[in-house]
Each structure stands twice: as C-alpha cells, then as structure tokens.
Amino acid sequence: MTAPANRLIPDRLQSPLTRALRSWEAVLVIVAIAVFVTNAFASPYFLNAWNLSDATFNFTEKAMIAFAMAMLIIAGEIDLSVASIIALVSTAMGLAIQAGAGVPLLVLIGLTSGLLCGAVNGFLVAGMGLPSIVVTIGTMSLFRGISFIVLGDQAFTGYPDGFDYFGQGYVWWVFSFELALFAVMAVVFWALLHRTNFGRAVYAIGNNATAAQFSGIRVARVRFILFLLTGLTSGIAAICLTSRLGSTRPSIATGFELEVVTMVVLGGVSILGGSGSILGVVLAAFIMGMVTFGFGLLNVPGIVMSIFLGLLLIGVIAVPRLLRGK
Amino acid sequence: MSFWKKALTTAAMATALMANAAAAEDVKIAILVKALGIGFFEAAAKGAEEAAAELGDVEIIYTGPTSTTAEGQIEVINALIAQGVDAIAISANDPDAVSPALQKAMERGITVISWDSGVAKEGRLMHLNPSSSALIGNTIIKLAADHLPEGGDVAILSATSTSTNQNIWIEEATKVLPNYPGINLVATVYGDDLADKSYREAQGLIATYPDLKAIIAPTTVGILAASQAVTDAGKIGQINVTGLGLPSEMAGAVDSGATTSFAIWNPIDLGYAATMIAYNLNKGTATAEPGASIPMGRMGAAVLDENNEAAMSDPFTYDKSNIEQFKSIF
C-alpha cells in the first residue's frame, strides 16, 4: 500500500482568463480555426459567402436538436428517438397538406406533434421511471414505424407556397432562415441552461439526482420538460428539413440521432452527465459542418470523412485529458 | 489581425485565379451516386471514365455520400455547386428530396441529369433509364423462350404483389407473350423479396407444376432463391431459372447450369451513356426537350419522351461467356 499523495491546495483560484484559456471551449475554438484555415488553403472555393452559406445547412437542423440534447445529456438522460420524431412530425405535416392545411397550421402541427412525441418519451422516463436509453431506442422504432405504415414506399409532396421559406429562404443576404433560427435558439438555450434556476437544476440532477431530489428539485418534472424540449426542437428541425427537401419520406433524417449525439459530445458535454455548455455545442456544430463541407469540396469520399470525424472526436476528448495528466 | 486579413486576401485572390484557370480547362462532370463503395456504381464510374477518355476534354468527379440518404446527397450537391462543376449526373436516393438542391444547381448554370434512379421532373433536365419497362418485360420472356424451342410451361416468381417496378414488368411481359408461341405462363407467385419466402415459393412451383420448364424471377432476390431451389430439387437441366439478377450472386448458378442466362443493365454502359449525355447537353450539341435525340457515343442515341425520359437499351444478357468478367464488378 502506498501512502496517498500530498494534496496541494492552491493559494488562489485560477484567474477567469486562465480558466477560459484552459477550457474545452478554447480547444474547440482552436480546432475550429484550424479547420477553417486548412479548408481555406485546401480549396479555392471555400472562402465564398454563398458557398459557406450553403455549408451551414449541413449542421443547422441537427444543431437545433443538439441544444436540447445537450441539456438532456447534462441531466444524465439521452434521447435516441429524435430522428424518428422528425420522420413522424414530417409525416403528420404531410397528412395535413393532404387535408389542405395552410402554412401556419402546418407549423402548428409540426410543433405540437414534436411536443407530443417528447411527452411520450418524458412520460415513460420521468413518469414511469424507465431508463431513457431503452425507452428512446423503443420509440425510435415506434415513431419511424408509424411513418412507414402511413407512407410505405410513397412520399408526400406538394407542400404549399411559402412553406419552402423555412428550409430554403434567406433572412438577409447569405443568412438563411435556418442559420438565423439556429442563432436565436443558441441564445435561448444558453440563457435557459446558464442563466436560470431550471438550468442549475439540470446540472444538479446530472451530478447527483438523489441529492437534487433532497434539495427540493422536482427531478421528474425537470426530466419531463427536457424530453418535451428535445421533442419540440425535433419538431422545429422537422419543419426546416421538410421544407428544405420539399417532401416527406419515412426514411427522412435517417441517422441524425447519432450525429446529434456526436455534436453534443464533441461540444464537451460529458456523456455521463453533469457538465457541458451550449457554447461548446455551437462550436462543435460549426466544426462538424465545416469539416463535412471542406472534405466535400475536395471530393474526399464520405467514409474518410467519417473516419476523420471519429478521430477528431476521440482526439478532442483525449488531448485535454492527456495535457492535464489525468 | 493584419496577418489574418492578408491570409484571407491571398486566399480570396487564389480563389479568383484558380476559378479562372479552371474555366478554361476540362468539362467537369460529377457522377453522383447513391453511396460510395457499391460495386454497381464503381462499374458505372468505369464507364464514365471510358467516356471521358473518348471525349478528351472531360474530368470525371466520382462522388457520393457514405450511406444512401437524401440528406447526404444534398450535402454533396452543395459541395459540387460550390466547386462550380459543369454537370451533375445523379442516381438519386430520393426523387423528391434532392430536387430543391438540384434546382439550385441548375439556377447556377449546372447541367443536371439523372440516371438509374430518377429525380422529379423539375429537378433535372432529363432522366436516363437503364432500360424501359417494355424492353425488360420482353427480355425476361425472351430469355426463357430462347432455351425452349418447343415451348413449355413457365412461371413467374416476383417480389411483393405491390412492387411497382415488378408489376409493370410483368404486365409488359404478359403483353408480349403472344409473340412467343408455345410459352405458357402457368402462375405468378410472390416471394416478397425475402430469400426464405422466395425459396419456398419456388419449391411450391416445382411441386405444383411437374412440367415446369422455366422460372422467371424479375428480382435479384427471387432469381437467386429460385436457382437454389432448383439445384436442391435436383432439377438442373429440367427447369431453367432466368430473369433479372446480379452477376456476382448468379455466378454459381450459371456455373452449375441452374441458370443458362439472365439479364440486368450493364452499369458500365450506363455510366458511359450518362457521361455522354451530360457532356452533350453541357456543350449545347443537344437540348433536353420531348422528342429530342441525344447522342450517347457507342450506345447510340437517347430519344426523350414527353417527360424528358429516355431508355438506354435492352437489358444486357449474362451467360457463361461473360459471367467471369462481370462477377467481380457487381
């Protein structure tokens, strides 16, 4: 048996600047800059406002969900059904246009059906106390399955004029509606997580749910609301994606759930819960979008891109730990 | 800051210079496939390269997403638009979902055509089908009839009873039956494109119709299962299995004799023809309008119907003479 190492208690805490420089977000900023500069030198087509604008569509919808997913993962839960919620919401909107719904009604249906899906997950996890990973693997099949039953190998097309604005419209110059919405949602979720009691409760639950419960936090209610949020953001993403594709098929958004989780983890959210920030998720979204686009410009096969993203993910997680000597 | 400004300006200038340089160079044609790593599309890319070599001033960009999703293809389309390619020839994962992105490509002056799996009409200039339903319907009957000079009973083993493609082909096949006297279609059964169910349906056919001379399966799952069922029943030589199959999967059946010959499109020809069409449309030597005839080099010419669709050729027949060459391709 070796004696426990002496513990040093520092005379003073790190200054805010040192802390910021040593943070995960700092690593991500460096990676983002590196990716951006490399891309700019690697391809003559990268530094073009319209091209960069097109590239943002690679991540905006996924990032919208990633904000809510980050909060959920910080609270120690996960939602793997988000891509299937998109499929179901998109199908619901497709059914609505068959019935002659207009744009405002479509949006309303999109948001409500997203919330409903979230409520189902929330009820099963928070209400019945089932593990979220099991529940959402189940609803992942359930939601998309319903979409498959409704559509089979068919597609809903013929979305009304004006609906295309959400996924194809521009607010100002090269700034698309999706990018603007992404920015607004980033601010809203930043405020919610980092500036409200609700946000503190999310961290508390993620670090120790039992302690949180005894501190007077209504754990089940917070969890339920978090699932409502992933449902709602999936609904918003479904509206944008359906509008961008101009059609609905049951295979819509296949595989989005893993990309969303990757984005969250790359953003520095601990998969075990308890820590992470919205800024990290924003940076991770940009990095993933820029890497995908940059490799696309060089016509690098997609599989190389996946390998690179995997290495990036492991690298970004491993390097800070190695540096801290843990 | 000034360093970054300099770097950015330099990069921007490089952009402008290289963009100009590229304009004077080759016609850049992107062959955008459903997903990379699929033998069928790799073969199509070979055909595209063959066309490029023949044309001389063509650069082929063979690309596609990792998995067969429309969202992945749209990301690739955006990257192709950004590079300023001259033409995109796409085999689409979804006819509708990729349409808005391709319309944007066409707005930016890119020639867009689809091949193999089509795109909705407004998302492309023309679509090249590997073959037509009528040609396929005729071919599958002809393949069976060629080896039955005296005629005989044949049965069809299809995919599901709701498979759009198979139903159209079977309908076309029944239309041409009178042209093949002696060929008697006794049954059409459905194996649902499941290996085990198709196998059982084929066994059922063999048991029910003792005089059966051929099983026609216009589906790659069905033809493989049927040839296995015929082999297992010891009916090689008595019952010939034919239809649409993949050379890699059917090589064994051709070797054993369970299948004398079968057909499927030739992906090399398809990639070649798509490249030729994209080139001609981009150069303005042909226009995509109903009734137009677009040259496809050694494949002849594609004649567009009222939907700006064209059929390349009869399905390509595979037998002992060429199966070795194609089985490693797809």
Identify the CATH assignment for B133-264 out of 3.30.1300.10, 3.90.1150.10, 1.20.1260.10, 3.40.50.2300.
Answer: 3.40.50.2300
**A57 contacts on B by Cβ (under 8 Å):** 74-75, 78
Contact across the interface for B97 and A252, Cβ inside 8 Å? yes
Q: Is the model's pLDDT at B284 over the cut of 70?
A: yes
Contact across the interface for B97 and A41, Cβ inside 8 Å? no
The predicted pLDDT at position A4 comes to 61
A35 touches chain B (CB under 8 A): no
Confidence of residue B16 (pLDDT cuts 50, 70, 90): very low
Name which residue leads in pLDDT, A7 or A147.
Answer: A147
Q: Is the model's pLDDT at A18 over the cut of 80?
A: no
> What is the residue extent of each domain of chain A?
56-323
Min Cα separation A277/chain B (Å): 27
Name which residue leads in pLDDT, B13 or B26.
Answer: B26
Average model confidence (pLDDT) across chain B: 89
The predicted pLDDT at position B4 comes to 53
The predicted pLDDT at position B23 comes to 45
d(CA B22, CA B42): 26
Confidence of residue B9 (pLDDT cuts 50, 70, 90): low
d(CA A210, CA A201): 12
What is the percent of chain B where pLDDT is above 70? Answer: 93
CATH class of B2-129+267-313: alpha beta
Min Cα separation A217/chain B (Å): 41
Residue from the list B7, B19, B96 with its beta carbon closest to the beta carbon of A246? B96
Q: Is the model's pLDDT at A70 over the cut of 60?
A: yes
Min Cα separation A196/chain B (Å): 36
At B284, which amino acid appears?
G
Q: Is the model's pLDDT at A323 over the cut of 80?
A: no
Min Cα separation B177/chain A (Å): 30
Residue from the list A152, A168, A302 with its beta carbon closest to the beta carbon of B66? A302
- The interface predicted TM-score of the complex, written ipTM, equals 0.85
- Would B2-129+267-313 and B133-264 be classified into the same CATH topology? yes
B95 touches chain A (CB under 8 A): yes
d(CA A185, CA A192): 10
The predicted pLDDT at position B17 comes to 46
The predicted pLDDT at position A69 comes to 97
Q: Could you give the count of Cα atoms lying within 13 Å of A76 in the half-sphere of its Cβ?
A: 19
- pLDDT tens digits for range B220-272: 899 999 999 999 999 999 999 999 998 989 999 999 999 999 999 889 999 99
- Which of A37, A166, A177, A254 should one mutate to test binding to chain B, selecting the residue with the greatest count of B CBs within 10 A? A254
Q: Could you give the count of Cα atoms lying within 13 Å of A170 in the half-sphere of its Cβ?
A: 8
The predicted pLDDT at position A180 comes to 97
**A299 contacts on B by Cβ (under 8 Å):** 61, 63, 79, 83
Residue from the list B8, B18, B69 with its beta carbon closest to the beta carbon of A44? B18
CB B27, CB B59: distance < 8 Å: yes
Contact across the interface for B66 and A303, Cβ inside 8 Å? yes
- pLDDT tens digits for range A238-254: 999 999 999 999 999 99
Contact across the interface for A55 and B78, Cβ inside 8 Å? yes
CB A259, CB A59: distance < 8 Å: no
Average pLDDT over residues A38-62: 91
Sign (positive/negative) of CA torsion B172, B174, B179, B183?
A: positive
A134 touches chain B (CB under 8 A): no
> What is the residue extent of each domain of chain B?
2-129+267-313, 133-264
The predicted pLDDT at position A303 comes to 79
Which residues on neighbouring strands pair with residue B264, listed in sequence order?
Answer: B316
B97 touches chain A (CB under 8 A): yes
The predicted pLDDT at position B22 comes to 45
Please report which helix (H) or strand (E) contains residue A285, including its range: helix A278-297
Contact across the interface for B7 and A54, Cβ inside 8 Å? no
- pLDDT tens digits for range A191-224: 999 999 999 999 999 999 999 999 999 999 999 9
Contact across the interface for B19 and A246, Cβ inside 8 Å? no
- Which of B71, B85, B165 should one mutate to test binding to chain A, selecting the residue with the greatest count of A CBs within 10 A? B71
Q: Is the model's pLDDT at A229 over the cut of 80?
A: yes
d(CA A79, CA A67): 12
CB B47, CB A284: distance < 8 Å: no
SS (H, E, C) chain B: CHHHHHHHHHHHHHHHHHHHHHHCCCEEEEEECCCCCCHHHHHHHHHHHHHHHHHCCEEEEEECCCCCCHHHHHHHHHHHHHHCCCEEEECCCCCCCCHHHHHHHHHCCCEEEEECCCCCHHHCCEEEECCCHHHHHHHHHHHHHHCCCCCEEEEEEECCCCCHHHHHHHHHHHHHHHHCCCEEEEEEEECCCCHHHHHHHHHHHHHHCCCEEEEEECCHHHHHHHHHHHHHCCCCCCCEEEEECCHHHHHHHHHHCCCCEEEECCHHHHHHHHHHHHHHHHHCCCCCCCCCEEECHHHCEEECCCCCEEECCCCEEEECCCHHHHCCCC
